[in-house]
Structure 1
C-alpha cells in the first residue's frame, strides 16, 4: 500500500537524508489525501487499472503535477523510471509516459471541483452520529488540507519573540504555527531545544492541568514524549511510562535533547504499580487516532474497519487503575486523539460512576479556545475543522478529573 512507510522510522524513508525524507513524506501524504480524486482523474485516461506499482507511480505523478505545481516533464520522467525499475511493470513505461503527459494538461480545478472524498463507511457512520452530516463533511474537507507545523515552546512567555524569529503565527493557546516550515532541524532554536514539534491540539491536555510546578506527575503512555517535555518544562517531577522499549527510547532521545531528565519506566500499565501516589496523572490513552487523519492520511487505508471494543476496554481499565494511583485531592487529565465519543465522553461517564473522581472545572476561553468547544464542566472536544482560517487542528477529547 502506498502509505505503508509514511510513518515507519525503519522503512525505506529512513535511508534518506532529512530534506529528501521530508519531501517524500509530504508527497506521500498529499497523494493519499487526494487519492479518490486522483484515481477518478486517472480512470479517464486508462481502459483498466494497471498493476499497483504503475498505478502508484501515476498517483504520485498526478499529485506532483496537479496539486504541487511540479513541472510535468520531471514528474513524468520519475514515474516512467519507477515503472521501468520493475520486471512486472517495465512494459507499462509507455503507458505511464502517455498518461503522465495528459496529466500535464490539467490544472488544480480538475481535482478541486470533484466531491470531497468520504471517510470509510464504518468510521463515517460513527462521526455522522456524533457530529451530524454537516459536521462530518466539514471534517472531511479539513482532511484535504495540508496541515501546518505547530511548535510548543520550552518557555511559553517568549511566544511573541519566537514567533518573530521564525516567521510563525502565535496561536491563542500559546503554540506557534509555521505555515511554510521547510526543514525543521534547520530552524532557529532546534539545536538549543527552545521548542519541539507538537500539534496545537495535542499540547492542550497538559495545559488543562494548570500549575504543576513541584508536583509529582505521571505521564502514562508517554511516547513519543511531547507531553512529557511539556510537564518537565512546567517544573513537574515527571515519571514517564510506556509499554514499548523502542518508543521509550525515542522519549529518552527527545527529552535528553531538551535537557530534561524524567524518570523512565518501561512497563505494562496494567501490571505496574508506583512506589507512592501521584499529585497528577496525564493519561493520553491508546485510541483509534481518528483525530489525526489530517496529518496521517494513510490511516483510513490501514484501518478501514472500526473494531473499538478492545480499545474501549483497555481505556476504561487504564482509567480505573490510574485513579488508584492518585493522591486524595489529586487530578487526572484523560485524553484521546479520537473523534469518536465512545473513546472520550462515554469513557468519562463510565469512569466517574465506580470511582471517587469528579470533573474539575475547565475554562476554555482562558486556555485560548472557543467556549463552544467545551462540552462539559471539565471536558473539551476539538475537531479538525476548527480554526479553518488558521489551518485546522487535530481532533482531540480531553477531560480534567479531580479525586475527592
Structure 2
C-alpha cells in the first residue's frame, strides 16, 4: 500500500482528524492554489479533499475553512507573533494546518486540547513535518493562552483583509466606511430569496422578513432543498442586491432581452418571470446546465446560448443586462476566499474585459434600447469609472438615473443616479438580518 494511503488509513481511525486534514489541505488549495471555496466542496472537485468523509465531517471541514478565511489576516498575525523564526521551507504547507487549528482555538467552539492534539497528530503523519510536532504543540498552546489578546486584536479589524484591499477601501470610501465594510465581512451572510409572487406570505411561511426592495430574508439557516416552496419552484436564492439590476432593466413581455453573462441564472429567472423573450448567454456550458436546471425547477423559459459575450453577434436587442465578471469584492461576506485569491493586477485585467463587454453591448442594443451594467465589486474601476469612460466613448448613450420611486432605497443611489450598495448597509441588531452585498449598477439609454 502506498505511504499516502497508509497515512490516510491511520488518520481515519482518529475521530475528527480526517476533517482537520481536509480543512488544512483546502486552505492551502485556496490560498496557495487560487481555488474557489465553493469549487473545493463541489462533487466534481479536483482534487477532492472531502471524498470519503461523512456529511458531518464535510460540514465541520467547511466550517473550519470558512472561519479560517474570514479571519485569515489576524490568524497569520498571531502565528507570526508566536513563530519567531517562521517555518522551514520544506514544511511550508504546515502553515495551513496551523491556520486550521488556530481558527478552531480562536473563533470556533472547539476544546483547546482537542484542537492542539489533532494538529500534532496531523504533523506526525507527514514525514516532512513529523520532527516539528513539538513546535506545533508549543505554538498552539501559547495561542490558546493568549486567546483573549488576539481576539481583541481581531475585533479592531486591522488585519481583516489584505493590505492592498484595505488601502483601496480607505482611499475610495474613507476610514470609517472601510472599517464598517470590513466588520460586516466577519459575519455569516444572510439567506435572501427572490419570489415569484406573494413575498409577505412566503416570509411568514419561511420565518423571514420582507426587505424594502421586495426580497425575503430568512432568520434560520435551514438547508435550501428542505424549505417549503423549493420543489414547487416558488422562489430562488439571490442576494437582495443582486436582485436589483434586473429590476432596473424592467423587461417587458414584448421585448427581446439579452442576459449577457447569465450563469448561474438568478437574473435570468427575473427576466423570464417578466415573460420577456430572453437569451441567456454564457461562455461556460457547465454553468449553463445549472442555469437550465434551475429554470426548469421554476417553470420558466429562456433560450440558452453558449458563447463569448465579448464577440457575440445577433440581431439588436431591446434591452441588455451585463452582469460582468469582476473582482467580486462586494461578496466577501458570502465568499471569504475572495480577498486571498485576488491580486491588485486582477482589477485592471477585469476592467479591460468589462470594457469589451460594454462595447459589444452597445453594438447589440437597438436605437431607443437600454443597457443595465452591473458588477458585485466595491472597486470604482469596475463600476463608476467604467460607466464614465463608456459614456465618453458613446455619445449616443445617456444615463437613466435610478429613482427612489422604483422601490430603491435612497441610500443605494449615488450622486450620478447609479446604484451603489455597500456591505454594511441595512444595519440590524440581529446579524442574521443585517447587511447586503456590495453592488454597482448603471442604466443606459440609447438615443432613438
Matching residue of 1:132: 174
Cα deviation 1:35-92 (Å, max 9, x = unaligned): 2222333445445434344332232223223322233344344434433332222333
Matching residue of 1:393: 436
Matching residue of 1:209: 249
Cα deviation 1:325-360 (Å, max 9, x = unaligned): 223222211001111112111221222232422112
User: In the alignment, does 2:407 pair up with 1:364?
Assistant: no
User: In the alignment, does 2:38 pair up with 1:7?
Assistant: yes
8 Å CA contact 2:36–2:337 kept in 1: the answer is no
Alpha-carbon distance, 1:299 to partner? 2.1
Secondary structure at the aligned position of 1:61 is classed as helix
8 Å CA contact 1:22–1:183 kept in 2: the answer is no
Shift in CA distance, 168/73, structure 1 to aligned 2, threshold 3 Å: farther
Q: How far apart are the structure 2 equivalents of 1:319 and 1:261?
A: 25
Mapping 1:4-403, distance limit 5 Å: 4=35, 6-8=37-39, 9=42, 10-11=45-46, 12=48, 15=51, 21-50=58-87, 51-101=91-141, 103=143, 110-114=150-154, 115-116=156-157, 117-153=159-195, 155=196, 157-210=197-250, 212-274=252-314, 276-353=315-392, 354-364=394-404, 366-369=406-409, 371-376=410-415, 378-389=417-428, 390-403=433-446
Matching residue of 2:25: none
- Higher mean displacement: 338-347 or 127-136: 127-136
Q: How far apart are the structure 2 equivalents of 1:178 and 1:160?
A: 12
Alpha-carbon distance, 1:102 to partner? 5.1
8 Å CA contact 1:31–1:60 kept in 2: the answer is yes
Q: How far apart are the structure 1 equivalents of 2:177 and 2:125?
A: 44
Cα deviation 1:140-185 (Å, max 9, x = unaligned): 22222222222222x1x32122222222232211222234414223
Cα deviation 1:193-228 (Å, max 9, x = unaligned): 222222211111111123533422110011111111
Alpha-carbon distance, 1:101 to partner? 4.8
Cα deviation 1:111-133 (Å, max 9, x = unaligned): 14443125334433433332122
Secondary structure at the aligned position of 2:345 is classed as coil
| Cα RMSD for the two superposed structures | 2.7
Cα deviation 1:371-391 (Å, max 9, x = unaligned): 132114541111112123232
Shift in CA distance, 181/350, structure 1 to aligned 2, threshold 3 Å: same
Q: How far apart are the structure 1 equivalents of 2:232 and 2:300?
A: 12
| Residue segments in structure 1 that go unaligned for 5+ positions in a row | none
8 Å CA contact 1:143–1:294 kept in 2: the answer is yes
Q: How far apart are the structure 2 equivalents of 1:243 and 1:104?
A: 48
8 Å CA contact 1:54–1:92 kept in 2: the answer is no
The two structures have a TM-score, normalised by structure 2, of: 0.80
Q: How far apart are the structure 2 equivalents of 1:365 and 1:23?
A: 45
- Between structure 1 and structure 2, the one with the greater Rg is 2
8 Å CA contact 1:379–1:399 kept in 2: the answer is yes
Q: How far apart are the structure 2 equivalents of 1:308 and 1:36?
A: 21
Q: How far apart are the structure 1 equivalents of 2:436 and 2:364?
A: 32
| Residue segments in structure 2 that go unaligned for 5+ positions in a row | 1-27
Equivalenced residue count is 400
Shift in CA distance, 106/120, structure 1 to aligned 2, threshold 3 Å: closer
* Larger helix proportion of the pair: 2
Q: How far apart are the structure 1 equivalents of 2:269 and 2:165?
A: 32
8 Å CA contact 2:74–2:153 kept in 1: the answer is no
The two structures have a TM-score, normalised by structure 1, of: 0.88
8 Å CA contact 1:122–1:306 kept in 2: the answer is no
Shift in CA distance, 296/46, structure 1 to aligned 2, threshold 3 Å: same
Alpha-carbon distance, 1:256 to partner? 2.5
